[in-house]
């Protein structure tokens, strides 16, 4: 099933082969997962003493999906916590679980443990190679070129039972697979391992920028796990460029870098280059006058593209990233989660808004719950979707929306991921997915139901009015306030530039009027939901939120700004930093 050769043509041929027969490959993938784990406690609870080896793979698939129930993380969490607390024995997997990943925690408001095994890092390396092979067909890079990677490890710690815990990206950067990748492409990476694993994101970012500038002529593309990290790095660059130029001119390293291993690793690489420093200074002086439009092609003239996850909660950063990139293409990276990789971008020339992901049928066993949006009878419907029985990968239909269900090699069985996708087409026999949103209703007070995608659309419409003041939306989040009566939505904005209260009022009114959910509109007209409230927070507020998450174990490369929060600490930060409050008049009589 897996590619035995790592060349670009070989891995593409392998993928073309497994996607041609995706349905049967999925059946075999499930059989392999159950063969490895059929004696574990969780499966025996549902499958009893079925002898896996004696059952035909197709029959086993039918038995498994009829006997094992769909599960949420809450259903599996007690088993995972037993493992974290040191209980031995085959609970979820036959192979002992020694490492646990932490989800980012920005969707549910708290971090969750997810099993991480060798298979996790192997599939990460595999999907990176597969994606690179497709990208190189559209954007060929030079032999011996470099990559400017804004990647970060966070701290790892031990659970009560002695297991290593940390973010999935941190585990990957510590894995043999990542070390193999680094050794094979050592000349391609600007930053050494000491910078990646420093544990201090601010110091790492400075060094990434410094080394990226030092090798600026050799950089072939710029990347990070999430678009957020790239945008934040270049925002930092706007403040740091003069200091960076001094270090390049003199071959020194700023005193802000105080970690001995990082200092030594960077100073072993750089050397004085006054010509390059003067060139960068001239570029930055010009870019300041252009509000940093075209920063990437100006400073990295040979960069072919910018590569990162740009879908879902990353879409609000595309406007800013496009200003930095100018004509340099933005290429959306692969689709995955802490639980499993899902699909690869086989059409890297498409803009991020149009990207689809071809499911890799060997990574996990995938099922899809058909979803149907409800537009009526809001008093009876408690979710914004009605659902049908899950179907296998081979039975999905183009144009239909689904929630993804995973069965993984790492001990998750019929696990509801919570991601809503639409089938946009097929790559051979495997579906190409368009990510829609997280299923969780993030804003609801009464009978209203608004998802992250709904909120993003509303904020985009409201923030367009900021152009009247030549201002810019930096970041945003929201909260459904149900403690006051009537309850109402609060949207928090951090803005660059000065904006009159009159304009903010227009922005607030536009957002309130842009929610199209019938339940919200009816509730606003009847005053069972109060006027939308826009709160402006002071500069640096969202950096404080980032620092809070990093302080609790998240890595910068895995961080996503929560688009809706009920977290008391975050709300305290937001409310303490609030400088202005404006209320909508959209439904005023």
DSSP per-residue letters across 36-62: HHTTSHHHHHHHTT--GGGS-HHHHHH
| Residue whose structure tokens are 């537009």 | 375
Enter the DSSP assignment of 19.
H
Over residues 244-273, the mean pLDDT reads 92
Residue 383 has a pLDDT of: 47
The two three-digit tokens of residue 177, written as one number: 């697979």
Enter the DSSP assignment of 330.
E
Q: Residue 53: is it exposed, middle or buried by C-beta count within 10 angstroms (0-12/13-18/19+)?
A: exposed
Per-residue pLDDT band at 242 (split at 50, 70, 90): very high
Beta-strand relationship, 385-387 and 219-226? unpaired
Long-range Cβ contact pairs of 4-9 (< 8 A, separation 24 or more): 6/129, 8/129, 8/132, 8/133, 8/136, 9/133
Percent of the chain with pLDDT over 70: 88
HEC string of 369-415 equals: EEEEECCCCCCCCCCCEEECCCEEHHHCCCCCEEEEEEECCCCCCCE
Residue 104 has a pLDDT of: 55
Residue 107 has a pLDDT of: 47
Element (H, E) at 582: strand 578-583
Residue 10 has a pLDDT of: 83
Identify which of 240, 246, 302 has the alpha carbon closest to the alpha carbon of residue 273: 246
Element (H, E) at 433: strand 430-438
Beta-strand relationship, 341-344 and 357-359? antiparallel
Residue 295 has pLDDT above 90, yes or no: yes
Residue 186 has a pLDDT of: 44
Residue 111 has a pLDDT of: 66
Identify which of 372, 354, 360, 442 has the alpha carbon closest to the alpha carbon of residue 106: 442
Residue 558 to residues 151, 318, 322, 342, 440, Cα–Cα distance (Å):
9, 17, 21, 17, 20
Q: Poorest-confidence range of 188-197, 232-241, 338-347? A: 188-197
Per-residue pLDDT band at 243 (split at 50, 70, 90): very high
Give CA–CA dist 127/123, Å, rounded. Answer: 6
The two three-digit tokens of residue 176, written as one number: 């043999």
- Largest Cα span, the chain: 73
127 CB-near residues (< 8 Å, 6+ apart)? 334, 336, 341, 344, 360, 363
Task: Name the more confident of 2 and 64.
Answer: 64
Over residues 99-123, the mean pLDDT reads 70
Per-residue pLDDT band at 303 (split at 50, 70, 90): very high
Task: Name the more confident of 143 and 210.
Answer: 210
Residue 4 has pLDDT above 50, yes or no: no
Residue 342 to residues 204, 339, 402, 430, 437, Cα–Cα distance (Å):
29, 9, 14, 11, 15
HEC string of 81-115 equals: HHHHCCCCCCCCCCCCCCEEEECCCCCCCCCCEEE
Identify which of 87, 97, 26 has the alpha carbon closest to the alpha carbon of residue 61: 26
Q: Residue 588: is it exposed, middle or buried by C-beta count within 10 angstroms (0-12/13-18/19+)?
A: exposed
Residue 175 has a pLDDT of: 67
Residue 301 has pLDDT above 80, yes or no: yes
468-525 pLDDT, tens digit each: 778 888 888 888 887 777 888 899 999 888 888 888 888 898 888 888 877 788 778 7
Over residues 307-313, the mean pLDDT reads 84
**Neighbouring C-alpha atoms within 13 Å toward the C-beta of 88:** 1
Residue 328 to residues 205, 222, 306, 312, Cα–Cα distance (Å):
22, 10, 7, 21
Enter the DSSP assignment of 511.
H
pTM of the model: 0.76
The SS3 assignment for 509 reads: helix
Per-residue pLDDT band at 328 (split at 50, 70, 90): very high
For residues 398 and 423, the answer to whether their CB atoms sit within 8 Å is yes
Listing from the earlier edge strand, what are the strands of the sheet with 164-167? 113-116, 99-102, 164-167, 157-158
Residue 1 has pLDDT above 70, yes or no: no
Give CA–CA dist 475/489, Å, rounded. Answer: 17
Task: Name the more confident of 437 and 4.
Answer: 437
For residues 227 and 310, the answer to whether their CB atoms sit within 8 Å is yes
Listing from the earlier edge strand, what are the strands of the sheet with 578-583? 472-481, 488-496, 533-537, 578-583
Mean pLDDT taken over the chain: 83
Give φ, ψ of 331 to 5 degrees.
-115, 120
The highest-confidence range among 149-158, 208-217, 379-388, by mean pLDDT, is 208-217
Per-residue pLDDT band at 557 (split at 50, 70, 90): low
Residue 187 has a pLDDT of: 44
Over residues 187-202, the mean pLDDT reads 80
What's the first-to-final CA gap in the chain, in angstroms?
Answer: 65
For residues 521 and 511, the answer to whether their CB atoms sit within 8 Å is no
For residues 364 and 340, the answer to whether their CB atoms sit within 8 Å is yes
Beta-strand relationship, 488-496 and 99-102? unpaired
Residue 177 has a pLDDT of: 64
Interhelix angle 541-551/568-576, rounded to 10 degrees, is: 150
Task: Name the more confident of 110 and 75.
Answer: 75
Q: Could you count the other beta carbons within 10 Å of the beta carbon of residue 525?
A: 11
The helix, strand and coil proportions of the chain, stated in percent and rounded to the nearest 5, come to: 45, 20, 35
Give CA–CA dist 47/379, Å, rounded. Answer: 39
Q: What is the CA radius of gyration of the chain?
A: 25
Beta-strand relationship, 357-359 and 488-496? unpaired
Residue 441 has a pLDDT of: 60
Per-residue pLDDT band at 43 (split at 50, 70, 90): confident
Residue 404 has a pLDDT of: 92
Q: Residue 526: is it exposed, middle or buried by C-beta count within 10 angstroms (0-12/13-18/19+)?
A: exposed
Give φ, ψ of 397 to 5 degrees.
-120, 140
Over residues 194-208, the mean pLDDT reads 87
């Amino acid at each position: 099933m897996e590619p035995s050769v790592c060349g670009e043509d070989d891995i593409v041929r392998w993928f073309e082969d497994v996607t041609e027969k995706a349905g049967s490959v999925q059946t075999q993938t499930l059989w392999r997962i159950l063969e490895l784990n059929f004696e574990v406690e969780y499966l025996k609870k549902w499958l009893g003493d079925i002898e896996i080896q004696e059952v035909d793979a197709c029959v086993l698939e039918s038995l498994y999906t009829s006997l094992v129930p769909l599960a949420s993380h809450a259903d599996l969490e007690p088993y995972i916590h037993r493992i974290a607390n040191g209980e031995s024995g085959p609970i979820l997997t036959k192979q002992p679980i020694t490492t646990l990943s932490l989800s980012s925690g920005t969707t549910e408001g708290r971090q969750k443990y997810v099993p991480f095994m060798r298979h996790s890092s192997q599939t990460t390396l595999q999907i990176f190679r597969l994606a690179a092979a497709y990208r190189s067909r559209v954007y060929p890079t030079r032999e011996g070129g470099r990559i400017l990677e804004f990647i970060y490890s966070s701290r790892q710690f031990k659970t009560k039972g002695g297991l290593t815990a940390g973010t999935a990206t941190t585990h990957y950067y510590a894995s043999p697979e990542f070390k193999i990748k680094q050794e094979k492409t050592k000349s391609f990476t600007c930053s050494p391992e000491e910078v990646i694993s420093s544990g201090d994101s601010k110091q790492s970012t400075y060094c990434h920028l410094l080394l990226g500038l030092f090798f600026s002529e050799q950089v072939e593309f710029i990347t990070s796990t999430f678009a957020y990290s790239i945008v934040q790095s270049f925002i930092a660059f706007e403040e740091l460029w003069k200091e960076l130029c001094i270090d390049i001119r003199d071959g020194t390293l700023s005193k802000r870098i105080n970690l001995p291993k990082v200092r030594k690793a960077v100073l072993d690489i750089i050397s004085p280059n006054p010509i390059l420093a003067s060139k960068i200074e001239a570029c930055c002086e010009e870019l300041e006058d252009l509000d940093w439009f075209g920063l990437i092609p100006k400073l990295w003239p040979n960069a072919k593209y910018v590569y990162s996850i740009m879908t879902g909660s990353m879409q609000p950063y595309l406007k800013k990233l496009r200003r930095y990139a100018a004509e340099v293409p933005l290429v959306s990276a692969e689709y995955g989660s802490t639980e499993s990789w899902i699909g690869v971008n086989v059409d890297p020339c498409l803009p991020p808004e149009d990207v689809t992901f071809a499911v890799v049928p060997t990574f996990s066993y995938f099922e899809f719950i058909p979803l149907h949006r409800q537009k009526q009878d809001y008093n009876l419907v408690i979710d914004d979707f009605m659902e049908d029985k899950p179907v296998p990968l081979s039975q999905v239909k183009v144009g239909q929306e689904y929630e993804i269900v995973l069965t993984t090699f790492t001990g998750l069985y019929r696990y509801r991921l919570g991601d809503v996708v639409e089938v946009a087409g097929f790559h051979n026999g495997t579906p190409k997915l368009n990510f829609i949103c997280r299923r969780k209703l993030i804003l609801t007070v009464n009978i209203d139901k608004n998802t992250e995608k709904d909120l993003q659309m509303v904020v985009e419409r409201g923030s367009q009015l900021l152009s009247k003041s030549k201002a810019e939306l930096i970041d945003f989040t929201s909260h459904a306030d149900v403690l006051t009566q009537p309850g109402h939505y609060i949207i928090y904005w951090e803005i660059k530039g000065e904006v009159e209260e009159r304009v903010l009022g227009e922005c607030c009114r536009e957002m309130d009027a842009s929610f199209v959910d019938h339940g919200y509109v009816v509730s606003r007209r009847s005053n069972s939901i109060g006027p939308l409230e826009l709160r402006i927070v002071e500069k640096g507020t969202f950096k404080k939120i980032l620092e809070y998450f990093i302080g609790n174990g998240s890595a910068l490369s895995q961080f996503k700004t929560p688009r809706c929060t009920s977290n008391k600490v975050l709300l305290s930060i937001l409310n303490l930093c609030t400088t202005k409050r404006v209320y909508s008049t959209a439904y005023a009589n």
